[in-house]
Structure 1
Amino acid sequence: MAGYAGITAGYLILGDRPCLVETGTSTSAPVVRDALTSLGVGPDDLASVVVTHIHLDHAGGVGDIAGYYPSAEIVVHEKGARHLADPSRLMASARMVWGDQLDSLFGSLAPTDAARIRTLGDTGSVDLGGGRVLAGHYSPGHAKHHVGLLDSATGDLYVGDAAGVYLPETGDLRPATPPPDFDLETALRSVALFGDLRPQRLLFSHYGPVADVAATLERSAEELRVWVDLTKQAHAAGMDLDHAVAMVRDKTRERYAALAFEDAETAERFELLSGAPSNVAGIMHWLDLAKPESI
C-alpha cells in the first residue's frame, strides 16, 4: 500500500473451500494474486473472498480479485454490499477526503457483479468446507459495515480495524477512529464482544497475528478511551481540528515506540495506518453529533 511493504494483510485460509480474508487496496491486488498463485491457488480454486469492511485499504481490491477468481463468492456485511456493486459514491467520498493522494494510496475500487455478492447480517457464516466455518460477528464502532470473523477450526479471529492498528515491529497498538461512523460505546462493545468469543489469536488487518488476546483487547479499549478523553479536552476548549490534532499527537507520542523508532519508515507507516488527523477528526465528528449528557 502506497509503496510500502508490510502495511496491510490479506489472509488465505486453505482447506476444502479456500477463502481469502481482506484484499487490500486495488493497487495491491496483483501482489495478492501472485502470492495466491505461489501457494497453489489457481483462478478457479478460490471459493470465497471476505472483507471485514469496505474501507479501501481492506476492500479496494475486491473488484480486481473478483475478476482474477471468477468462481469466488464475495462476502461483506449487508450495509456495505451496494458499495461493492456500485463503488461510485464510495469513491467520490474517498476523493473528497484524500484528494490527489487517493490514486497513490488506494487506487480505484472496481465494481463487482451484484449476483456474486453474499451478505452477512449481525451474524452469518462462510462455509470453508468439511464442517469448518468462518462465523461473522457484527462489530461496528469503527465502521457501520464492519464484521469480525471467527474460524471455527483454529479459533483465529479476524478483527479488521475494530481492535485498532497493530505494528509488529514494535508491538504498538493504536486506535482507528475515522469519520463518519466512530462511536465510542459501540467501539468498546465490539472489543468486549471479541473477548467474549474467546479467540486463540487476533489477526489484525494492519497487521499480523497476536496471541496475547486478553492483554491486547484490554490495550485496545484503553487506547480508545485515551484518544477520546484527550479529544474531548480539545473539543471543550473550542480548538479547531488542526490544533486538536497537534495537542492529541503531542500528548500520545510517548505511548508508541514506533514514533521514536530508528527506522523513519516504520513511523511513517504507522502514521499512514492510524494517523492523528483521521483519528481526531472521527472523534470530533462523534462529539459534535452526541448529546451532551451522553459524553
Structure 2
Amino acid sequence: MIDYEHDISAIDAALLRHGMASIHLLRAGDEAALVDCGTGHSLPNVLAALAHKGIAADKLRYVILTHVHLDHASGAGAAMRAFPNAQLVVHPRGARHMIDPSKLITGATDVYGAQAMADMYGDILPVDAARVIETHDGYVLDFNGRTLEFIDTPGHAKHHHCIWDARSQGWFTGDTFGLAYPECTVDGRAFIFPTTSPVQFDPVAMRASVERLLSRQPEAMFLTHYGKVTGVPTLGRALLSRIDAHVAIARAAASAGDGRKQALLAALSAYLMDELRAHGSPLTRDEAMAVWGLDIELNAQGLEVWLDSEKT
C-alpha cells in the first residue's frame, strides 16, 4: 500500500505481478470508498489495508468502477459481499454486466480458457441490482462531504468514466490516461503510453477524453496502472503523441496481410523502446518487455479490431 496526500492510498491488486494494477482507497471522515476493485484475488489485500487503517467493513460505503474490464471490476461481486453497506457506482453501459456477469465470463473464457480465467480473476459474482448506482456525464456523488464528479470518457471503452476528486484536484482515470508503470519511472518522471486493448478502442474519442481531463488542470492523475502521477501537462502531451503514433503504426501495418499482427507487435515494441530510451530509462529490452509484454499484445489486438472496424 502507498499512502498519498488527501486521504488517498493505492493498494496493490495482486494481478499477475506487483505493480501492475492498483485499487485506490479514499477516506472521508469515518467512511471509505474504493475506486476500482481488481479481481477476486484482490480482496485480501483490500481487507488488510482497511484493517491497517482501522476502517471497519461496514464503513466502506462505495465501490466505484472506472469501467468493467475484468482487471478493474471482476472482483466487484466479492467486494459487495464483504462490505454490507457498500453501493456499486458504475457507468450505465457497464451496470448490466455487473448485475449479470455471464457474458463477461463467457467472452473471457473463450479467449483465455477456464483455468486461466480462474488463475487471473477468481470467482466473478453477480451484484444485487438494488445496490447499483448508475452514473451519467456530470453526475456528482456526495461521499460523506467529499465531492466526486463523474464524466463520460470513451476511447478505451464505451463504458468508461473518470472521477474528479475536488479535495485532491485529481482525476481517477482508470485506463483513459494510459499506463505508467513504476519500473519505467526515471528521476520521478513517469513514462506513459496508451492502452488500445480490444474491442472498443477509438482514437478520436480517446484524444477528446484525454483533452477533457487536461482541461481541468489537475494536480495529479491516479491511474489503475499504476498509482499517482504528477507533472500532468507533460504526461498529457506525451500520451496524446503516443496515441497518434499507435494509430500511425496500425495504418502502416494494415497492408501486411497475414503478417499484420506480427508487424504490429514488432513496430509497437520498437517504438516504445525508442521512447523509453529517450526518457532516460536504463531498462534493457528484456526488462521492459517483462513489464509491457501483455500490454503490447493487447494493444496490437485492439489496433487490429480498430483497423477492421475502419473498413466497415
Aligned to 1:103, the other structure's residue is in SS state: helix
CA contact (8 A) 2:256 2:263 kept: no
CA contact (8 A) 2:162 2:171 kept: yes
**Partner in structure 1 of residue 236 of structure 2:** 217
**Partner in structure 1 of residue 221 of structure 2:** 202
Matched, 1:253 2:273: yes
The residue identity in structure 2 corresponding to 1:206 is H
What CA deviation, in whole Å up to 9, does each residue of 1:115-152 have, x standing for no partner? 1010112221222122x211001101101110110011
What CA deviation, in whole Å up to 9, does each residue of 1:149-200 have, x standing for no partner? 0011221210110111111232221210111100010000010010112211
Overall identity of the aligned pairs, in % = 31
The residue identity in structure 1 corresponding to 2:123 is S
Alignment of 1:110-129 (within 5 A): 110-129=125-144
What CA deviation, in whole Å up to 9, does each residue of 1:54-96 have, x standing for no partner? 1111111111111110101110000000111111101111112
The residue identity in structure 2 corresponding to 1:190 is S
Looking at structure 1, the residues matched to 15 and 27 of structure 2 have their Cα atoms a distance apart, in angstroms, of 28
CA contact (8 A) 1:4 1:269 kept: no
CA contact (8 A) 1:84 1:112 kept: yes
Give the drift of 1:98: 2.3
Q: 2:93 aligns with which of 79, 89, 92?
A: 79
**Partner in structure 2 of residue 191 of structure 1:** 210
Aligned pairs, how many?
289
What CA deviation, in whole Å up to 9, does each residue of 1:24-69 have, x standing for no partner? 1111122112111211111111111101001111111111111110
The residue identity in structure 2 corresponding to 1:163 is F
CA contact (8 A) 1:259 1:267 kept: no
**Partner in structure 2 of residue 20 of structure 1:** 34
Q: 1:268 aligns with which of 286, 290, 295?
A: 290
Looking at structure 1, the residues matched to 79 and 36 of structure 2 have their Cα atoms a distance apart, in angstroms, of 10
Q: 1:179 aligns with which of 164, 186, 198?
A: 198
The TM-score with structure 2 as length reference comes to: 0.86
* Aligned-residue CA RMSD (Å): 2.1
Q: Which runs of 5+ in 1 are unaligned?
A: none
Looking at structure 2, the residues matched to 103 and 172 of structure 1 have their Cα atoms a distance apart, in angstroms, of 31
Q: 1:6 aligns with which of 19, 24, 28?
A: 19
CA contact (8 A) 2:99 2:126 kept: yes
CA contact (8 A) 1:148 1:159 kept: yes
The TM-score with structure 1 as length reference comes to: 0.91
Q: Which runs of 5+ in 2 are unaligned?
A: 1-13, 185-189
Query: Bigger CA drift: 35-44 or 112-121?
Result: 35-44
Alignment of 1:143-158 (within 5 A): 143-158=157-172
Looking at structure 2, the residues matched to 85 and 266 of structure 1 have their Cα atoms a distance apart, in angstroms, of 38
- Relative to structure 1, is the Cα distance of residues 110 and 138 closer, same or farther in structure 2, using a 3 angstrom cutoff? same
The residue identity in structure 1 corresponding to 2:198 is P
CA contact (8 A) 2:249 2:268 kept: yes
Matched, 1:47 2:61: yes
Matched, 1:107 2:144: no
Looking at structure 1, the residues matched to 120 and 287 of structure 2 have their Cα atoms a distance apart, in angstroms, of 16
What CA deviation, in whole Å up to 9, does each residue of 1:236-259 have, x standing for no partner? 343432343233323432223599
